Amino acid sequence: MGEIRLEIDGREVKAEEGMTIFEAAKRAGIPIPHLCYREDLAPTTACRLCVVEVEGARTLVASCAYPVANRMVVRTETERIKNARRLVIELLLSDHPYDCMTCEKSGTCKLEKYAYELGVREPRFLGEKHHYPLRAANPFYERDYNKCILCGRCVTVCHEVQYCEAVDYSNRGFATKIAAFFDRSMEETPCVFCGNCVSVCPVGALSEKAGRFQGRQWELKKVPTICSYCGVGCTLLLNVKNGKVIKVTSDKDLGINRGWTCVKGRFGFDYVHHPDRLKEPLIKENGSFRPASWDEALDRVAQGLMKVKAEHGPDALGVLVSAKCTNEENYLLQKLARAALGTNNVDHCARL
């Protein structure tokens, strides 16, 4: 692709043909405020917070969708631009709850961030406000339409990443909202509760039920780990407080999954602290289990397997490997079966 040179805020910036102003500015380390844009989703140009001045253009343009051109001159921080951005924030806040003190998104909310940076204390516009009921029927996340800013991120991720098409824009004008078809509950839609819509929501319109009122964002330690549910190897972030996993999130810059998750990975972590979870090997003696060391337990297993092999032959043994193991672990298990036990009776739980 051809190289393009343009000027942004007095700096010469190199870009590639086909890039947008936002992408060129980001590559050059020039931040541009945004609410609806996300680099791994198609631009919706819904929020208009990323507007910039382009020399020769009559109006401000949305940088997330405006292509660069050679010798283009762009300004991102003029007073005209700041006033336009303040207006956007004021209009959004005019129909937004002021419950930042108890909102789960406080501290990472982009609307809160830009209102602070632009010095918007309260909107000038007073009028009708929405009063939607909280939608919390499903066990995984809540939908608070009163906080929705109609950025469209959840719609885009549902259509372009998950391919469920469970939600879309509904109604027109002031009545517009993001909803399932005929405003049904999520259980009545193709939704698979992957939680990707929750991960891309820039405000508190979508929030996990797990961890509510258990810790602020800045109180939670983010611990990267690999999901234990299958062999894909998705990277997850355990949100930990006082030694307990409060909830699971993800990061688009970590792992092969690029931040996308399934319902099990994001919401199926309650087993971690379940009282019935095994935390040490147990050996059954006289009808009851007793704790044992790993060395003792592995020796007992090895003795049992060799006894069966000696008495009934290697084909009396079988090994069932698991999709919850990594490819490397499954390789070692089949190697153990064939080389040590002498059997080809190896099967996999996901074979069919």
In terms of domains, do 336 and 300 share one?
Answer: yes
d(CA 19, CA 27): 10
The beta-carbon contacts of 101-108 under 8 Å, at least 24 apart in sequence, are: 102/213, 103/147, 103/204, 104/204, 104/207, 104/208, 104/211, 104/212, 104/213, 105/201, 105/203, 105/204, 105/207, 105/217, 106/204, 106/216, 106/217, 107/216, 107/217, 107/218, 108/217
Asked if residue 134 belongs to a domain, the reply is no
Asked if residue 69 belongs to a domain, the reply is yes
CA distances from 247 to 88, 100, 202, 209, 239 (A): 32, 20, 18, 9, 5
d(CA 147, CA 103): 10
Nearest alpha carbon to residue 52 among 37, 39, 40, 3: 37
Tokens of 257: 């999954």
- Residue 12, pLDDT score: 94
Task: Look at residue 352 and tell me whether its pLDDT is greater than 80.
Answer: no
Q: How far is CA 27 from the centre of its chain?
A: 23
Q: What is the pLDDT of residues 194-240, one digit of tens each?
A: 999 999 999 999 999 988 899 998 999 999 999 988 878 899 999 99
| Percentage of residues in the chain having pLDDT higher than 70 | 99
* Domain of 312, in residue numbers: 294-348
In terms of domains, do 312 and 272 share one?
Answer: no
Asked if residue 86 belongs to a domain, the reply is no
In terms of domains, do 226 and 266 share one?
Answer: yes
Q: What single letter denotes the amino acid at residue 293?
A: S
Q: What is the pLDDT of residues 39-98, one digit of tens each?
A: 889 899 999 999 999 999 999 999 999 999 999 999 999 999 999 999 999 999 999 998
Averaged over 114-136, what is the pLDDT?
90
In terms of domains, do 263 and 223 share one?
Answer: yes
In terms of domains, do 316 and 269 share one?
Answer: no
In terms of domains, do 35 and 73 share one?
Answer: yes
CA distances from 158 to 33, 42, 68, 126 (A): 24, 12, 29, 33
- How many domains does the structure of the chain reveal? 3
Asked if residue 169 belongs to a domain, the reply is no
CA within 13 Å, CB half, 215: 17
Q: What is the CATH number of the domain that holds 23?
A: 3.10.20.740
Asked if residue 178 belongs to a domain, the reply is no
Asked if residue 211 belongs to a domain, the reply is no
Q: What single letter denotes the amino acid at residue 327?
A: N
Q: What single letter denotes the amino acid at residue 279?
A: K
Asked if residue 37 belongs to a domain, the reply is yes
